Structures are given as C-alpha cells and as structure tokens.
Amino acid sequence: MPNPFTVQDFAARLARATEAAARAGLSGLLVTPGPDLVYLTGYQPVAITERLTALVLAPDRPPTMIVPKLERPDAEGAAGAGALTLTDWVDGEDPYAAAVPLLDPQGRYAVSDAAWAMHLLGLQEALPATAYVPVTRALPMLRAVKDADELERLAAAGAAADQAYHRILQVPFAGRRENEVAADLAALLTEFGHSQVDFTVVGSGPNGANPHHEADDRVIRAGDTVVLDFGGLKHGYGSDTTRTVHVGADVPEEVRTVHEVVRRAQQAAFEAVRPGVACQEIDRVARAVITEAGYGEYFIHRTGHGIGVTTHEPPYMVEGEEQPLVPGMCFSIEPGIYLPGRFGVRIEDIVTVTETGGWRFNSTPHDLAVVH
C-alpha cells in the first residue's frame, strides 16, 4: 500500500491549480464532484446527487468548498480537508444563493467538465454576469503531469493488470461466451488489488473490429482472434492494457501480418516518446507504420489518452494536439487495425515520459499469444 497523500500534497495541488487558472486569465476554478475534486481534495461524496457540492479556487481567497450540511462530516473526513475552508447549506435553502459569496459576480471560471447542468445554470441565474469554460478546454494539463507518488500508483496498477493478463491466458476461451471471459478478467483485476473495474473488453472475431465493443453473448470459437482490453483503478490510479490473442495455434497468415504491423506501430510510437515532442507526433508515428503497410483506413481510433485518477483523460495522442510531452505525463499507446466483419488487433501499454524517453508500465509480451 503506497503512503497516503498528505494535507501538504493536497495544499500544493490546490495552489498549483489556482495559479494555473490565474495564468490562464481566469478568475478561478469551480470544481464539482468527480476526478478533479478527488485529485485536488481527496473528497468523493458517497453519491453524486442533485445537492450542490462545489470547491471554489481563486487567488484572493483560501480554497473553499461548499457542501450540503448533512454531508459535512464526510467532507471533513477527506484526506485534503485540512487544506480547505468548508461552508455549508441546509436542505430547504437555495444552494446557489449560498454559493454567491464565494464567486466574483463578474468572474470567468473554469468549471469541471461533468458539472451538472442544473448546478451551472443555477449559478448563472444567481450571478448572470459570471462566465464558465470547461476545465479540459481551459486547463487541459491540470492533472497531466504526475509526481513520484502518483507514478508509483500507476506502476502498481499496470503491474496488477499485467498479472491479470498472464492469468487470463490460462482460462478456457473456445466454447465460452465473451461475457464469461470478461467476468474472469474483472475478477482477476480485483484479485490483484483493483478497487474498481472500468472495462473488460473481450472482442472475439468480428466483434474485435469495433474498438469500443465491450463483451456480449457471442460464443468464442477456435480460430477466433480476440482483443482483450481491460483496466480500472488500484489505489485510486488507473490501469489500461490491451493484448490480442488467438484461439488455437493455427493462426492464419493475415492475422500474423496484421498483428506484426500493429506491434511495430506500437513500438515505433513508444520509441518516439521524449520531452518536447508534440502529442500528435506520437499518433503520426504509429499511423505512418500502419499506413505504409496498407492498413491506414482501418486505424480508426486515436493512438492514446492520458491516465491518472481516471482511465481516460488529457493529454490525447491525436492529430491536432500540439501539447508537448513533459516528464511525468502518463498515457496509453494503443494503435490498432480494425477489419469490419472480420477481426481486430490492438496492442496497448501505458507509458510515462522520462527525461530521456518513455517508460512502460505494462511489460507483458507483445507477441500474439495462443489461448485454448
């Protein structure tokens, strides 16, 4: 178990976020329950409901969180509560009126992407001259660069996913439904310390051609190529890895060829990782390998996404993302080839940027493993 984050850790994150908002020309940051709030305060309400909870960060005031009074004891118990001033409102009061003193009536704030519309509209009605931009647009790199304690957690999550992969190779595939193998994967992630399973993709045969297929009732057969993509949270940080396997040792030539192209694309993109390189360059490098091999039109998904307290977040490895890589950023490299109606191949590792290049948090073999 890694050392828990301290009040000082949260205070530093709060200060950094407040500074970043000011540097972006904003009055501050309005954070509602979800990953930004977990990152900044360690607080996650038991249920995210219609009752307003919001953290307001602004350079001219201490970090202040408004909570429903009945949830105040929970908020006081959060790991970062010591770095916050708490205020509350009571059922029957207007929560937006209660939040008004925390906001600049002319202010422009970055607001959590997933803030409930009813809350944002309530605040806008109470303070019509305020303006809001989503955090991902205003401060996309807010959580992107991980410190040593966060990297330790991401490494542990990756190692646990790798253990799950080694074990899933031992379970029977042929004759079982995708859903059954997916349940095995979920159980393995849990066994290796995940507290939350986010996805367990088992894309057999033609289902593998849909990058976002999860798992369904299809019965897996000998001769199927199967995409396995799974991950979740361990100690509050994400894992996400993909390997493609084949049911039975009789692997068709085309499956071998496609798999080798994807493997080379993943390796080339990994080798392109170093500080200062634009995110889109990682996508371009992977895409060039696949395009040159003649499969460009079947690489229909971006090359990667950031990972941290969630399994999908900025920075995105996609054309148009010019953000330069910075040591401590963590993201997936997951090129794939998706042949409609036939099969798909994807290989995915989580990678972090070091001073000199890239470092993988997943280290299971990239070969096309044979399962039975």
Positions 114 through 133 that interact with Zn ion (CB under 5 A) = none
- Of 105-113, 256-264, 325-333, 335-343: span binding Zn ion (CB under 5 A): 325-333
Gap between the Cα atoms of 34 and 310, Å rounded: 9
Closest to Zn ion by CB, 64 vs 190, is 190
Closest to Zn ion by CB, 45 vs 335, is 335
Shortest distance, CB of residue 331 to Zn ion, whole angstroms?
9
- Of 173-181, 185-193, 276-284, 331-339: span binding Zn ion (CB under 5 A): 331-339
Q: Which of 57, 235, 273 is nearest to 152 (CA)?
A: 235
Shortest distance, CB of residue 63 to Zn ion, whole angstroms?
32
Closest to Zn ion by CB, 211 vs 236, is 211
Site membership for Zn ion, residue 162 (CB under 5 A): no
- Number of helices followed by number of strands (H, E) in the chain: 10, 18
Burial class for 218, CB neighbours closer than 10 Å (0-12, 13-18, 19+): middle
Gap between the Cα atoms of 211 and 149, Å rounded: 32
Residues 220, 173 contacting (CB under 8 angstroms): yes
Gap between the Cα atoms of 39 and 236, Å rounded: 10
Shortest distance, CB of residue 130 to Zn ion, whole angstroms?
34
Gap between the Cα atoms of 155 and 239, Å rounded: 8
**By rule CB under 5 A, what string of x and - marks binding of each residue 222-261 to Zn ion?**
-------x----------x-x-------------------
Helices 279-292 and 253-271, axial angle in degrees (round to 10): 150
Shortest distance, CB of residue 9 to Zn ion, whole angstroms?
27
Taking the mean position of all CA atoms in its chain, how far away is CA 82? 27
Closest to Zn ion by CB, 23 vs 212, is 212
Positions 171 through 230 that interact with Zn ion (CB under 5 A) = 229
Cα→Cα distances 204→121, 170, 242, 278, Å: 44, 17, 13, 34
How many residues touch Zn ion under the rule CB under 5 A: the total is 5
CA atoms within 13 A on the CB side of 11: 7
- Of 37-45, 151-159, 252-260, 329-337: span binding Zn ion (CB under 5 A): 329-337
Q: What angle do CA 196, 160, 327 make, to 5 degrees?
A: 95
- Of 85-93, 106-114, 246-254, 347-355: span binding Zn ion (CB under 5 A): 347-355
Closest to Zn ion by CB, 83 vs 268, is 268
Shortest distance, CB of residue 8 to Zn ion, whole angstroms?
32
Site membership for Zn ion, residue 332 (CB under 5 A): yes
Shortest distance, CB of residue 254 to Zn ion, whole angstroms?
24
Shortest distance, CB of residue 110 to Zn ion, whole angstroms?
25
Closest to Zn ion by CB, 105 vs 320, is 320
Shortest distance, CB of residue 299 to Zn ion, whole angstroms?
12
Shortest distance, CB of residue 344 to Zn ion, whole angstroms?
12
**Long-range contact set of residues 49-52: C-beta below 8 Å, sequence gap at least 24:** 50/116, 50/118, 51/91, 51/95, 52/89, 52/95, 52/96, 52/99, 52/119, 52/122
Site membership for Zn ion, residue 313 (CB under 5 A): no
Which stretches of the chain bind Zn ion, using CB under 5 A? 229, 240, 242, 332, 348
